């Protein structure tokens, strides 16, 4: 069994032609922890509904963007993914 060891994560919508949006997640692992998206998908299988499992996993090596109130800037993550600044592994 895997234990998800991350410092922060943000779940956000990723545009999809037919569905409108799919689930994406950006994860900042703790220092020294390697995170493989395949392990995350295997861990979540059967624990939550299939439509809630992220289809796009971004393993970050920098802090997730936040606003002055400390909330994650999900739209910025969406835009950076669309521009190719972030790379997601897709299921």
Instruction: Print the domain residue range for 31.
Output: 6-90
pLDDT of residue 7: 78
Residue 63 lies in a domain: yes
Q: How many domains does the chain have?
A: 1
Residue 86 lies in a domain: yes
Residue 51 lies in a domain: yes
Residue 29 lies in a domain: yes
Residue 67 pLDDT class (50, 70, 90 cuts): very high
Integer Cα distance of 68 and 7 in angstroms: 19
Least confident stretch, 3-7, 31-35, 54-58, 70-74:
3-7
2 has a pLDDT exceeding 70: no
Residue 1 lies in a domain: no
pLDDT digits (tens, 9 = 90+) for 20-58: 899 999 999 988 888 899 999 999 999 999 999 999 999
Chain-wide mean pLDDT for the chain? 91
Residue 66 lies in a domain: yes
Pairing of strands 56-59, 6-16: unpaired
Residue 15, domain CATH: 3.30.300.30
């Amino acid at each position: 069994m895997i234990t998800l060891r991350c410092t922060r994560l943000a779940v956000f919508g990723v545009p999809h032609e037919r569905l409108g949006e799919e689930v994406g997640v950006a994860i900042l692992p703790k220092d020294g922890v390697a995170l493989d998206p395949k392990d995350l998908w295997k861990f979540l299988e059967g624990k939550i509904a299939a439509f809630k499992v992220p289809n796009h996993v971004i393993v970050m090596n920098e802090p997730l963007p936040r606003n002055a109130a400390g909330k994650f800037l999900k739209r910025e993550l969406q835009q950076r993914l669309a521009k190719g600044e972030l790379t997601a592994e897709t299921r």
